[in-house]
Amino acid sequence: MRLDTRFVLFVPLIVLACATTPRVDAPPEATAVRTVDTLPFGAMLPDDYRWLREKENPGVRAYVEAENAYTAAQTERLGGLKSSLYDQMVARLKEDDESVPVFHGGYYYYSRNVAGQEYPLYCRRAGSMDADEEIILDINELAEGYEYYRLGGRSLSPDHTRLIYTADTSGGEIYTAYVKNLTTGETYSDRIENVSDALFATNDLIYYETYDSTRRPDKVWRYTLGTDQSDAEMVYHEPDGQIWSGVSRSRDDKIIFIGAGNYDASQVYFAAADDPNAKFRLIEPMQAGLEYSVDHHNGTFYIVTNDNAINFRIVTAPLSDPSRANWTELIAESKEIYYTDILCFVNHLVVTGRTGGFANAFISSYDGLEMKPIELMDVIHRFGLEDNAEYNTDLLRFSYENPITPRSIYDYNMSTGDMTLKKQDPVPNYDPANYRLELLWATADDGSRIPITLSYHKNVDPRGNNPLHISGYGAYGIPTEPSFSRSRTVVMDYGVLVARAGIRGGSDMGRQWYLNGKLMNKRNTFTDFFACVEHLIAEGYTSPEKVSAYGGSAGGLVTGYAAAERPDLFGIVTLDVPFVDLMNTMLDATIPLTELEYVEWGNPNEQKFFEYMLSYSPYDNLGAGPMPNMLIMAGWNDPRVQYWEAAKFTARARDSVTNDAQILLSINMGAGHGGASGRYAFIDEIAFMYSIIIDAIGGERIASN
């Protein structure tokens, strides 16, 4: 750890013996090995379980495997419930299915799944869906021999004869790029290692990003197909550890953009896509608090920016000199709409945004004089743009769903306003008429109204003191979207109410909603979550012992703190790849993503941030007392939230708990942040999780009609 002073109070002679002899009838006992860090301003941070970070230590692996064995033994009695849940979830999956084809460059591109196969096939047909099918990528073949295989990015050459794709075979998010000739089926010998993403600029010219030692995308390279990676030209390097970089292409394919930024600032460079020797020019230099993103149309840049606009506005700039001095306002900031992105088409400008707690798109002319929203079906919805690969079209493709309505793909005619349903995801053995959906509002400590979406089976009296499963996230401005989930519909069949809390730290209610839940406002995220649960209890929907709380990644910070601070509100808390060891992670700049996160959480090397972050760090707030039941899950190869955060939290919770709460740790030894990569293996993980949750909160199978 990169701190001024570090001293060890006690070091055992042999750390390999890190757990007692594994017994499945009792939880493993981790050896407490106290270390204490002293910061420059005198604060001290003790830690009894730092040794669990030693991934190569056989004793660490032995401890984790003992935890997995204990969890397996403790949940063996739930095998029948888990199997039943798995079968019901698979029964709601159309195992042979095909995506809506996307027309691009003379081809119809689509993916399809085959019953029994873990991964999809990516295909195309030339000119018509009646033409012969070409299988571009069969992920099942590519994944043979790997315990884990995840496809990353894909990019077509402009003439559609070549495909570059990236793949991760460990869960560690270390990708390799491959190039395939779509005419001959040959995969070239070209290999580009350690890539974050890659894309074609011309038929032979490829741009790609690579990582530094902390897994931060920091370099952009220009590479000519058929040459060695060592001959690639580095066209951008971002040395600042608090900034990431990336490469993208304008929708008209004429411009290559290199962007750099964090959660507080950004800057964008540009160059002609068809120039193999192009020099990149800067649009506007980075400065704290200024964010912008760019697209290109007909010699003009269209820019979404928070320049003098908390909810962002749209400006234009000439290609010849796009600096901020030449920005001209096209669409002014709105108090009701938080503008999030733009897409340029030949005849239409599409602006996405959030209003009233939900996302939508607004169709504008290029003079900005008219802007109309898409008229959606329900107030409660998740809206998302789909693959809109064609630049010269009047059709905008988007997806629409909510917790009881399966994902539906629409084509919207931007000229006429006509909307065509292309496909609704088939969900066998499911009838949306059997479920209900509500929008509720909780009141936070400061009077802010927090949105809650609630879904449940129609045969359940919602205010009948039911088991309830609530999730929250509240970070990075990412909203808690009311999406459809086959697995959660099965959970509702067990009489469980399913709730999502739109807590601050996300952008559910606009940009200020995010700002009010980060840095020195972060505690709003947790008190909002508690307010939502308290509201549901007070209104008779549930009672504390019947409440299940779920949080993943940064959402695990929410549920981890909930377990430490408000155990009285929950029957079980699930922490999925949880960010719970906030202080130790954020004090170690060698850990992936740490420095990038300073603008989100604060830099604990500064006293004011240290003291504030310490006040809510879940690992550091586990004191002696009662706790709810806990299920803690992680991935052994996770580069985003290391496995040891979950392991350390488990060990400390076991040391601290004074009641008979069951604390279970499950670490997937062959996966990373996203869990299992195959679709059936992932469903198996979900069924395992929900079997524990349903058992803990008393869910019981109800009649379907």
| Strand stretches in 465-594, DSSP E | 468-472, 497-501, 547-552, 572-576
Residue found by looking up tokens 């109070």 in the block: 9
**Which residue, among 72, 131, 85, 86, has the nearest Cα to 107 in the 3D structure?**
131
The count of other CB atoms within 10 Å of the CB of residue 448 is 18
Asked if 673 is an active-site residue, the reply is yes
User: 120 phi and psi, to 5 degrees?
Assistant: -80, 165
CA angle centred on 278, ends 276 and 281, rounded to 5°: 155
Q: Classify residue 433 by its DSSP letter.
A: G
Residue 531 pairs with which residues in a beta bridge?
Answer: none
Distance CA 175, CA 172 (A): 9
Distance between CA atoms of residues 321 and 326, nearest Å:
7
The active-site residue out of 37, 168, 218, 638 is 638
Please give the Cα distance from 411 to 423 (Å, whole number): 10
List alpha helices for 134-197, DSSP H. 139-142
Longest dimension (CA), the chain: 76
**Cα(525)–Cα(680) distance, rounded to whole angstroms?**
34
* Catalytic annotation, pick one of 673, 677, 684, 691: 673
- Tally Cβ neighbours within 10 Å of residue 704: 12
How crowded is residue 186: how many other Cβ atoms within 10 Å of its Cβ?
A: 10
Cite the beta strand spans of 281-369 per DSSP E: 281-282, 292-297, 300-305, 313-318, 328-331, 338-344, 349-355, 358-364
Active site annotation includes 615: no
Q: Establish whether 170 is a catalytic residue.
A: no
What angle is formed at CA 116 by the lines to CA 110 and CA 117, rounded to 5 degrees? 50
Residue 465 and residue 543 in contact, taking contact as beta carbons nearer than 8 Å? yes
Given 507, 553, 666, 677, the catalytic residue? 553
> 532 — phi, psi (to 5°)?
-65, -45
Q: Is the dihedral of CA 314, 319, 324, 325 positive or negative?
A: negative
Q: Report the distance separating Cα 304 and Cα 334, nearest Å.
A: 13
Q: Please identify every residue annotated as catalytic.
A: 553, 638, 673
